[in-house]
A and B are shown apart, each in its own frame.
Chain A
Amino acid sequence: MARKVMNLIATDINRPIGDIKLNIDIANLEETILGVIEDMAPNESEVKDKEGRWYSVRIRPYRTIDNKIDGALISLIDIDAIKRSQTQLQGALSYTQAIIETMREPLVALDGDVRVLSANKSFCDTFNVHASDIKDKLLYELGRRQWDNPVLRKLLGEILPKKNYFNDFELSFDFPEIGQKTMALNGRQIKLHGKDSSLILLVIEDITERKKAEDILKRDNKTLDKMIDKRSKELIRLQMELVKSRHLSAVGTLAATVAHELRNPLADIAISIHRIKKIVKDPVVEEILTGVNGRVLESNQIINDILMYSKTTIVRYESAKINDILISSIDEQAQNFPIGKIAINEKIARTKDLIIEVDPIRIKEVFLNILHNALDAVDKDAGIIEIESDVNDSMVSILIKDNGEGIAKKDLKNITNPFFTTKAKGTGLGLVVCKQVLMLHSGSLTIKSVEGKGTTVTVTLPIHKKENV
């Protein structure tokens, strides 16, 4: 084989090796051989032949039987196959290395004892370390022991050896400049063939943003649920108000019809009483008839009250200046009521020139009523009534504050109950009807009071009319 590989022929024997043109490219062959003989030490190298096959070349000193160095022995071993696979392996390794280095996720390789073997660039950048600094260190010792987590210890120590992998283990890290970050870890254990040791690969993903988004979503969902719940409740409440309002409207129409119809018979009775009085000149009869007439008038008053109550279901919208309505109510009340030393302070500059869509007659009646109550409640000598107005994009609010006797807590709840009473107060409307009028305008009336201190009535109205379907 030497003949073939080195291109030797029979006639080459006894020729100097330097003179022979060999197939194999061994650098400085003569020198190397002489060196081996002189140093009495073997020399090994790897060489390629002209066809590119790899050989391991060994040059050993040749010992004679008397142990004298008498030359050199060159042996060639065909390592082509091995070399090829080595190259392949090298290639594969480079490839793998490139993948690991190009990977955007941090990756760290650990040995079976959880000591760092290597880490990719991403890992070093993320955790701000040098690969050389962390090599051979226990993972748990790294970065102020942030990796030292009992669950992670269990995963790496117990679970991996059995299951070979784990996914999506979440771990929080506190970075000095960046702050808190949440990472998801995937781990894999590779048992190395022929060795008892294993290789652990940890791939890390920064899920801080994802977690934040998840939390926001969860929170938003909760908020959304709350909003939906609130809106649903509001919707139900509005529907019930609408039903109530419609019902009141129906009752109102009925009441109006009944009241109207009753007036004719009453008129007839009244006329008849008068005629009887004229015909029968008897004092007893006269007395009786006077009594009957009284009942007629009483009946008529009841009808008036009913009609007042029912009338308020009809709202006739007009564009009007709210301040005009207020001032008109104040002036009228001041005329009809002995004001005395009661101070009425107007703080209505904010709604100067503000025009709103309301039924001015109804709303005036509301203010007249509230003012009447306030004037009634305060001390004639030291009473103070404040009328304050405010406005925003869609609503105007008017507060009527008095420093009068106030309303007891237990009465406060009932004062605006839609409980029909024939004993209407003030100008014929009670707070019951005031609230109804405001409700029909899609406004509101609220009363705050402290017994002995005073009362504040707040009226709100939309600037533009809201059509009730």
Chain B
Amino acid sequence: MYKKILIVDDDSGVCNSLAMLLREEGYDVDATTESSEAVVLIEKDRYDVCLFDYKMKGLNGKDLLKITKNINPQCSVFIVSAMFNLEELCQKEIKSGLATGVISKPFDVEELLKKIAAMDS
């Protein structure tokens, strides 16, 4: 079964490129730059992996993480961000296991693909 992936990032360039990349790898990808639209999508579909940008207008990555986990605890959520002290900011979520991991931008693409592949569907 193909993994369903949701990408939420307010930078359209990153959002698009990441979506294209993952589609080319064979994944079923939904992507949006609006966190409000993301909520709708989360409620509608069951995603295997989510990649949320940390800093966004409206709901931020952490908020989306909580919402997703409420609806679908099985989902693997990664916080992807350009924030410098990302690990510090998500300390609690990482410790508690709520977030599967954090990924700093710009990331090593190979590494990212490996991580996603490692997630159980």
Contact = CB atoms under 8 A, between A and B. Distances in A.
Interface in A260-295: 260-261, 263-275, 278
Given A264-B11, A275-B20, A275-B24, A270 B107 contact: yes
A271 B18 contact: yes
Given A263-B82, A267-B105, A275 B11 contact: no
A259 interface: yes
B14 A271 contact: yes
B13 A265 contact: yes
Interface in B1-51: 11, 13-14, 17-18, 20-21, 24
Interface string B77-96: 00000111100000000000
Nearest to B103: A267
A287 B21 CA distance: 20
Contacts of B85: 311
A270 B106 contact: yes
Contacts of A304: 84
A296 interface: yes
Interface of B: 11, 13-14, 17-18, 20-21, 24, 82-85, 105-110
Contact of A260 (B13, B18, B24, B84): B84
Given A267-B14, A268-B13, A271-B21, A307 B84 contact: yes
A263 B24 contact: no
Given A263-B82, A311-B84, 4 more contacts: A264-B13, A268-B14, A275-B21, A296-B106
Interface residues of A, number: 23
A274 B109 CA distance: 7
A268 B83 contact: no
Contacts of B109: 270-271, 273-274
B106 to A, nearest CB: 4
Contacts of B18: 271
A278 to B, nearest CB: 7
Of the listed residues A256, A270, A307, A311, the one surrounded by the most CB atoms of chain B closer than 10 A to its CB is A270
A458 interface: no
Given A270-B109, A271-B109, A264 B24 contact: no
30 contacts: A256-B84, A260-B82, A263-B82, A263-B105, A263-B106, A264-B82, A264-B105, A265-B13, A266-B105, A267-B11, A267-B14, A267-B17, A267-B82, A267-B107, A268-B11, A268-B13, A269-B106, A270-B109, A271-B109, A272-B17, A273-B109, A274-B21, A274-B110, A275-B20, A275-B21, A275-B24, A278-B24, A296-B106, A307-B84, A311-B84
Interface string A351-365: 000000000000000
A300 interface: yes
Cβ-closest 3 pairs across A and B = A263-B82, A267-B106, A271-B17
Of the listed residues B14, B83, B85, B107, the one surrounded by the most CB atoms of chain A closer than 10 A to its CB is B14
A275 B84 contact: no
Nearest to B113: A274
A428 to B, nearest CB: 11
Nearest to B20: A275
A207 B18 CA distance: 95
B84 A268 contact: no
Nearest to A270: B106
B112 to A, nearest CB: 9
A264 B17 contact: no
Contacts of A265: 13
Nearest to A299: B106
Contacts of B21: 271, 274-275
Contacts of A296: 106
Contacts of A259: 84
Contacts of B82: 260-261, 263-264, 267
B29 to A, nearest CB: 13
B55 to A, nearest CB: 8
A259 B84 CA distance: 9
A14 B111 CA distance: 168
A265 B13 CA distance: 7
Contacts of B24: 275, 278
Nearest to B9: A264
A256 to B, nearest CB: 7
A266 B106 contact: yes
Nearest to A304: B84
A300 B104 CA distance: 11
A267 B108 CA distance: 9
B75 to A, nearest CB: 22
B90 to A, nearest CB: 16
